[in-house]
Chains A and B, each alone.
Chain A
Amino acid sequence: MSILTYISGWPLLAALLLIFVPANFRVIIRLVALVATFISMALAISMFCHFKAGQTGFQFEQQIPWVTSLGISYHVGVDGINVGLILMGAIVGFAAACCSWEIERREKEFYILLLLMTGGILGAFASLDLFFFYFLHELALVPTFIMIGVWGRGERKNYATFQITLYLSIGALLALVGLIALYLQSGANTFDLPAIIKYVHDDNHPLSVKAQHFIFPLLLFGFGILVSLWPFHSWAPLGYGVAPAPTAMLHAGVLKKFGLYGLIRIALPLLPEAAQCYVQVIAWLAIGNIIYVGFVAMRQRDLNLLIGNSSVAHMGFIFLGIASLNLIGITGAVLIMVAHGFLAALTFALSGYIYKHAGTLEISELGGLCRKLPFIGTALLMAAMAGCGLPGFANFVGEATVFFGAWSRPALQTATVFAVWGALVIGAVYMTRAIRNVLHGPLPQKFNQLADASNVWRKLPYALLLASLFLFGCFPKLLTDKIQPDVKPIVSMATQARASVMPVALNTTSAISN
């Protein structure tokens, strides 16, 4: 059994176990969830440490045939692209379980759903089989709707649940059609991704350009909706605004990266011609995320909506990195995916803490919280700084890398200018303004009784996420060394022009792939 099976298996097993625990055993329920996510995190850290950087191909692989007639198998494995994501997902999963102490009613159901979400998405990231890739993501996605619908807060709960269910179901189903079409068009008669890539590239059975132009938009917009690609982003701030903190942490931090991961892992290598055509489209939609949603974030009066919009805006950088279609840009995109996972989880955890204790997230009603909540306030300040791309945090490394990557592609230089402006100016404006209004200034009378995260256990999830942001901010080499060797073949597959399409470019192609 591969360690990856255990990483996603423990939370799922714990979810199954919890079904048989009576609902009034609250401590046991919480303990089971914490232990399961902790084991999964510990295993993910050990997997990350044992991962051999610079080695091409997948490590910790395991393959069990499932439906032989359709070529579906349970196939997991990691390379540099998903190793960081699985580590991030496992850490966020544990942090989310820690933060779930704020849930006070129907705890059993909540923890079951939370564990399903964690296990499902970790499995989806580890999966190298298109069917399981989709299947496990869907397993993680559906609990989100239920959690927002039941444990959500505020009077817009029903509307938000409705919108998020509708958007994400449509996105997931479009992606499903794209994946099925990919399976059928590739002709490899297997859902196994490495086998399809081998069949398409090494055995030279590329997909016809017509098929690529049908499948790529399905994947781009299907996955794009899941990632809140502008203009299909409106579910995200609204949904995160009403979601309970652990759900928002897991969804914004981990689940949302699924679509981006799918684009990099599946769409780019298998649909190179279409990818090249859509580069401009992706780049400009990404600018929509960065600039438009950035401006929207500036106008928010609710802290959670601001964070939600800022998390949508950050997706723009990742899309820009993907659009650059070169080694530096895509490496940067993967870096931001990991960094933003920690960051989004951290900010939603903190806003959840403030909501729980202050009872509101209206920025105008908050103020001076840093005096009463030194730990939470400092953590929020750091998170906001990380969000503006302050050096020292992992986000800076990723964003800078993406800008370098995008700039080196002449067609994207204008877009890069906009993106840099959006990152440095717009991001800084709304983040610093929020910090000023929430943490500084006079403390309203009613908040005199606020209590800070008192003991080590309460501080643990925030400290863990901050530490991860620092670690990868100061030592990005830990990730980049792993990411680069595996992004390289993807870039070369994505940029190689087919001889039959562009006979003139034949020499340059071989130069690139060499």
Chain B
Amino acid sequence: MNASLMSLEISVLALGMLVLLADLIMPPERRKFLGYAAIAALTTLLIASFSGYGSCSLAGTAFNGMFVNDALSLFFKRFFIIAAILVLFIAIEFAERLAVGISEYYSLVIFALAGMLFAASANNFAMLFVAIELITITFYVLVSFQRNRLASLEAGVKYLILGALSSSFMIYGIALIWGTTGKLNFNELAAVAPQYTGEKIFLLGILLVVVGLGFKIAAFPFQIWAPDVYQGAPTPTTAFLAVGSKAAGFVLLLRVLFVALPVVAAHWVNLLIVISAITILYGNLCAIPQRNIKRLMGYSSIAHAGYLLLGVAAIAGNVHDATAGGAAILYYLAGYLFTVMASFTVIALVVKTSQTEDVSVLAGLHQRSPLLAATLTIAMVSLAGIPPLAGFFGKFLLLKSVIALGAVNQGYYCLVFTALAGVVISLYYYFGVVRAIYFSKDAADLSPIAISGSARLCIWLSLAGILWLGIFPDTILNLAAEAAKVLSS
């Protein structure tokens, strides 16, 4: 029992409760500023993690190996805290559009963050399930938080039904794994798994767990919910869903496949290749006809899940050295974090004044606010993978990790060419957004957009992140490579 390792998670949970309590004594007009207090607290925790004093930098295991702190969890914990900080900035901007309970919104974001932090450290199927549920259940509320908007409620119901379905798949899978092997701990499972590779029930269990995680990362064929929920949810929730929830799904997937079950993962190379390829094509092709900007981002997030799965497929091809594939995934996620936050901040600001979320609301944006226009353009260009931004180097790393295995399995070459096709297709709709910003002629509204301080800060932080990752990738790449070593078996 080594509870001090968890002091980060405990402080985050305490912070969430404090925000809830402060709500009771705070006058309503001041509650918006609770968000700044929460951001300050999270920033302190982030700085602590970099200074080496934070509990997340102490390596070790707690609760009989259920909870592990290593380079991988450290990377993801920093990632999640940064994501939550940026989401809180968007939420402060969004506050007046939430009819009631902005402080509940902040605290739910913080509770979801706690779930993600636990997910980063989960080293046991029970822990995995608890972390996932903590994330998902808070998200049910976050998605349907705009109670007076039908679309938000509809999205909440859809997310609830499909989320519950995926959770039940997962718990069933965990039960089957427990039933066959008697192990829940990932490291113990890794030791005994080779004896069970022939066992159908055991494999079915793993498959069901992967299905459950597939829902979280929105990989084909479990992606159906993503566009609807992205479209209906309040914009800060969408941003957190796109980044935090997806990354939590990936860290759990990586741990399950490569820490607990590398033997099985190595056999599932072709499955992973096929899922990755179809996810990329599905996301990109379906994004083409979309007119609703948030829905477009929903499909684009499916496509990006597909690109990230390139890295998973690459690690599966050589489970003994996960450095290339793992570093590529982590680096790509870091770039994706800033890009998505930048785009959703802009979307939140632009959509605020207009009732519609159609791409046409972007018309004339470069006159209404050059900063927002430039930010969204940079975000789209980065998502499309064009140098010198973060997205390009991320895709470069992912492609490199996959091509490296092409000589072993020809399937990887097919995957590479599918990914390239996806990149080319995606140029169409990303440039469509850019074209709508700068070159569409029929701008209905040319009034300047007021940008609040929190949104401005969020935009500048995200832009700095995109450019820094694109131009100076060395630091993050070294951290990512360090973290990815955990996955090598």
**Contact surface of A with B, Cβ cutoff 8 Å:** 19, 66-70, 109, 131, 135-136, 138-139, 142, 145-146, 149-150, 165-166, 169-170, 173-174, 176-177, 180-181, 183-185, 211, 214
With A66-B474, A150-B439, A211-B407 as contacts: A173 and B386 at CB distance below 8 Å: no
> Which of B403, B416, B481 is packed against the most chain A CB atoms within 10 Å?
B403
In whole angstroms, what is the CA distance A150 to B435 when docked?
Answer: 9
> Which of A135, A136, A150, A180 is packed against the most chain B CB atoms within 10 Å?
A180
A327 to chain B, nearest CB (A): 34
B423 an interface residue at 8 Å Cβ cutoff? yes
Dominant secondary structure of chain A at its interface with chain B: helix
A177 touches B399 (CB 8 A): yes
In whole angstroms, what is the CA distance A181 to B405 when docked?
Answer: 10
Q: 0/1 per residue, B407-438, Cβ < 8 Å to A?
A: 10000000011001001100100010011001
Chain A residues with Cβ under 8 A from B417's Cβ?
177
B194 an interface residue at 8 Å Cβ cutoff? no
Chain B residues with Cβ under 8 A from A138's Cβ?
386-387, 392
In whole angstroms, what is the CA distance A142 to B431 when docked?
Answer: 11
With A67-B473, A67-B477 as contacts: A169 and B400 at CB distance below 8 Å: no
B404 an interface residue at 8 Å Cβ cutoff? yes
B388 touches A176 (CB 8 A): no
**Contact surface of B with A, Cβ cutoff 8 Å:** 374, 381, 386-388, 392, 396, 399-400, 403-404, 406-407, 416-417, 420, 423-424, 427, 431, 434-435, 438-439, 473-474, 477-478, 481
A69 touches B387 (CB 8 A): no
Chain A residues with Cβ under 8 A from B399's Cβ?
176-177, 180
Shortest 10 CB-CB contacts between residues of A and residues of B: A173-B420, A135-B387, A169-B424, A184-B404, A180-B400, A180-B403, A67-B474, A138-B387, A181-B403, A139-B387
Dominant secondary structure of chain B at its interface with chain A: helix
A165 touches B420 (CB 8 A): no
Identify the closest chain A residue to B472 (Cβ).
A66
A446 to chain B, nearest CB (A): 30
A142 touches B386 (CB 8 A): yes
A25 to chain B, nearest CB (A): 15
A-B contact pairs, 15 of them (CB 8 A): A70-B477, A109-B438, A131-B396, A135-B388, A142-B386, A150-B438, A169-B423, A169-B424, A169-B427, A176-B396, A176-B399, A177-B416, A184-B400, A211-B407, A214-B406
B273 to chain A, nearest CB (A): 16
In whole angstroms, what is the CA distance A236 to B406 when docked?
Answer: 33
B403 touches A69 (CB 8 A): no
In whole angstroms, what is the CA distance A214 to B410 when docked?
Answer: 11
With A68-B474, A177-B416 as contacts: A166 and B386 at CB distance below 8 Å: no
In whole angstroms, what is the CA distance A67 to B392 when docked?
Answer: 14
Chain A residues with Cβ under 8 A from B424's Cβ?
166, 169-170, 173
B388 touches A139 (CB 8 A): yes
Chain B residues with Cβ under 8 A from A139's Cβ?
387-388
B106 to chain A, nearest CB (A): 36
In whole angstroms, what is the CA distance A344 to B350 when docked?
Answer: 44
In whole angstroms, what is the CA distance A150 to B417 when docked?
Answer: 30
In whole angstroms, what is the CA distance A184 to B381 when docked?
Answer: 27
In whole angstroms, what is the CA distance A181 to B402 when docked?
Answer: 10
In whole angstroms, what is the CA distance A1 to B471 when docked?
Answer: 19
Chain B residues with Cβ under 8 A from A66's Cβ?
474
Identify the closest chain A residue to B406 (Cβ).
A181
